[in-house]
Structure 1
Amino acid sequence: MMSKKLCASILKSVKIIRRQHAKFILSRSMSSLSSQEIKYKEHGDPNSVLYLENCQVSKTLKPTEVLVKMLMAPINPSDINMVEGTYHMLPQLPAVCGNEGVGEVLDVGSEVSGLGPGDWVIPAGTGFGTWRNVAVSDQEMVRKVPNDVPAISAATIMVNPCTAYRMLKDFVCLHEGDSVIQNGANSAVGQAVIQIAREWGFKTINVVRNRPDIDQLTDYLKSLGATHVVTEEFARSHQMKELVKSMGSPPKLAFNTVGGDSATNMIKQLNSKGVMVTYGGMSKKPVTISTGALIFKRVRLTGYWNAKWVQENKENPELVRMFDDLFDLVRECKLLPPVSETFSLSDFKVAVKSSLEGYKGSKKVFVMDESL
């Protein structure tokens, strides 16, 4: 796992050592670049329908196009859902897999402004196709990001930290000292919630599934800034009520990515007029709430979908402010990237199979640049 000391060391290296591009960019006389792409031409089991294709990408660009060398790209649940055909935004088939990642601009078209060789970019929305070496895209499909941060932070900034940021900011007016409760707290979103909440002065109660290494996980989440870490079993006990009471006032906000009994147990701990935001459904069980919680506590249930928020706020200055805030935290080593296990594109079958087994302490990330 990346410590703050290691993060600071990497940031220092990034600022001092400029990456060398010449070894990748082939002779100017060559008209194309070799690339590998992980694709699918029908929906289904990712273990069956994904395939690796070798291709040539033309270096000849239209006026508004950019040529991008992908550096890193994670495997997220939304990527898997797209392949399965269950996601609510689906690209036209055949498609290159991957919605999130970071790439380096190699060249730009004659009418492109604000981007140049050496800049880093991330997709501006879903369906970009990040699981490949090289991509040609219209400039409107990418967003420039700082290249003075670790590549893993840039590659994983768009989905999980943005989800945590928006959920903490958009649903309840929280003040310093207020508390938030969440399940799935060891997930990438959960870890981002813990770190951002700590910086904004909020306390967190973090619910996780019991496991053999629960003490190690507890210590890790507390090192990120978690106020309390409890198991699902503890969350159902009378001791949970005592813990919440000891915090002064019940949580005003809950984040649910599990569903079922786990969500119901969190609702019980919410303050009057509290809000529970659902952003995932790992258990595939519905969220249920008692009539009393709705009538007498006036608890409100809602949902958050980051891809939709980004799509609807492309011109909103708040989008720029969000990325500025998050990258500032990254530079200050106050927002660490998730613990990751890296794979080459050629090992995609192993990476995808591992990701389908669920989040087990590390995010699966494709690395396309061996120098990183």
Structure 2
Amino acid sequence: MAVHMNKVMSWFVISNVVNNNLLSKAFSAKVLHGTRNMSYTVRKLEFKEFGDPYKVLNLVESKCEEPQNNQVVVKFLLAPVNPADINTVQGVYPIKPELPGVPGAEAVGEIVAVGSQTKTLQVGDRVICNTQPASTWRTHAVVDESDLLQVPKDIGLVEAAGATSNPATAYRMLKDFVTLAPGEVVLQNGGNSAVGQNVIQLAAAWGLVSVNVVRDRPDLPALKSYLTQLGAHHVLTEGEFEKQRDFFEKNSLKKPQLALNCVGGKSALSILRALRNNGVMVTYGGMSREPVTAPTSVFIFKDISLRGFWMTRWHKSHRNTEVQKEMYKDLFDLMRQGKLKAPSHKIVPLDQYKDAISNTMNVKGYAGFKYFLDFTS
């Protein structure tokens, strides 16, 4: 079984590269460079009420409006399907769009038409969204140019489409809470999650040691091998980590000052207890749906800090700032160098959106693809 999983993981990597290259070439061959008076038919996923995505989402068509003044028309190419998108449709996400609404927090697109007063973007530029909610599950949209960020065209479409969420979250959590020097340890649970894989790769690129805790599962050796190939130094199951209270000493590692939690419950408590004095645990998710609890002793005797992080809030307060520009420059440079790769993924046409939703809602799955909606087919 482990051998089979290794073959599958290897195929993931190969297929990701092939899909990315083919998609980019296919779009480049058929994209039309628009003018101000060109009309586009918009295909979009729309919901008129909050609820079960299977029931409330419908694929509809409309006409695209002409861009005015500093507006542009974006032809979306790829959009990831994230858990937050599902929560938005369900009506349980903190940000609720006006109804009828279009889901989608991020995507990569290309400018196909511009208004008369645009200054920074032109037809043919590749862009990602810089506002929330972005409503990206559609083929075209009229957007203010200030709500977009230009992306270098040598960045893969899959990497660009998902840049504003998972890579950016990993980047900010490693940068903003603790000053880490090369050789220091970062501890995280959910090491195989999309954010977790980005943490592993960024840590490796910056000379940090990542210790990654995952749930026990079938084909565990294959998963450990996969994460190690990404740059993970240590991968342990929750049970293995709990039993090895002297793990850091045995491996000649300094105890971590930073722990990243996306699980909650017992898993969060386990990594919290491993922190050294004055350590910080940052919570950015709660996949177990269990609360984060902490014993009084970690506050009194170790002065541990518990923090939270939400990428949407960070983007809102740092929109179009030099700090934001520097972050994306760093991320794109690492993507260009092959040091920051997208997670294993599958690209499906917009018509097959229910497959993507089903995969994203399958919280019981241990491993799988991240789905992307393809608007070019």
Please say whether Structure 1 and Structure 2 have the same fold, judged by a TM-score greater than 0.5. Answer: yes
- Counterpart for residue 50 of structure 1: 57
| 2:234 aligned to which of 228, 231, 240 | 228
Q: Select which of 90, 98, 111 maps to 1:92.
A: 98
Instruction: Quote the offset at 1:247 in angstroms.
Output: 3.4
SS in 2 for 1:96: coil
* Structure 2 counterpart of 1:68: 74
Match of 2:289 among 269, 284, 290: 284
- Separation in structure 1 between the aligned mates of residue 15 and residue 360 of structure 2, nearest angstrom: 28
SS at match of 1:66: strand
Deviation at 1:219, TM superposition (A): 0.3
Q: Deviations over 1:219-266 (max 9, x none)?
A: 0100011010000111221x2423454233111100000000000000
- Aligned pairs for 1:198-237 within 5 A: 198-237=204-243
Identity %: 41
What corresponds to 1:270 in structure 2? 275
SS in structure 2 of the partner of residue 81 of structure 1: helix
* Map of 2:85 onto structure 1: 79
Native 8 Å contact 2:109 2:128 kept in 1: yes
- Are the aligned partners of 1:244 and 1:269 in contact in 2 as well (CA < 8 Å)? no
Shift of 1:88: 1.2
* 2-structure distance, mates of 1:61, 1:13: 27
What secondary structure, in the 3-state scheme, does the structure 2 residue paired with 1:32 have?
A: coil
Q: Residue 40 of structure 2 aligns to a residue in which SS?
A: strand
Q: Is the 8 A contact 1:26 1:33 kept in 2?
A: no
Deviation at 1:12, TM superposition (A): 12
Per-residue CA deviation, residues 157-192 of structure 1 (Å, 9 max, x unaligned), is 110000000000000011111001101110110000
The answer as to whether partners of 2:20 and 2:158 remain within 8 angstroms in 1 is no
Q: CA RMSD in A?
A: 2.4
Displacement after TM superposition at 1:42 (Å) = 0.9
Amino acid at match of 1:63: N
Question: For residue 119 of structure 1, what is the aligned residue in structure 2?
Answer: 125
Q: Is contact 1:4-1:333 (8 Å) kept?
A: no
Instruction: Give the letter for the 2:334 counterpart.
Output: L
Pairing partner for 2:352 from 335, 342, 347: 347
Distance 1:27 1:115, change over 3 A: closer
Give 2:139's aligned amino acid. N
Q: Give ranges in structure 2 of 5+ residues lacking alignment.
A: 1-8
- Contact kept, 8 Å, 1:234 with 1:240, in 2: the verdict is no
Structure 2 CA distance for aligned equivalents of residues 351 and 316 of structure 1: 33
Distance 1:185 1:27, change over 3 A: closer
Output the CA distance in 1 between the equivalents of 2:19 and 2:348: 23
- TM-score if structure 2 supplies the norm length? 0.91
Give 1:249's aligned residue: 254
Q: CA shift at 1:126, angstroms?
A: 1.6
3-state SS, counterpart of residue 110 of structure 2: strand
The unaligned stretches of length 5 or more in structure 1 are none
| CA spacing shift, 1:283–1:12, aligned 2, 3 Å | closer
Residues matched between the structures, number? 365
Deviation at 1:270, TM superposition (A): 0.6
Counterpart of 2:192 in 1: which secondary structure?
coil
2:265–2:291 Cα contact (<8 Å) kept: yes
Pairs within 5 Å for 1:277-356: 277-356=282-361
Q: TM-score, normalised by structure 1?
A: 0.92
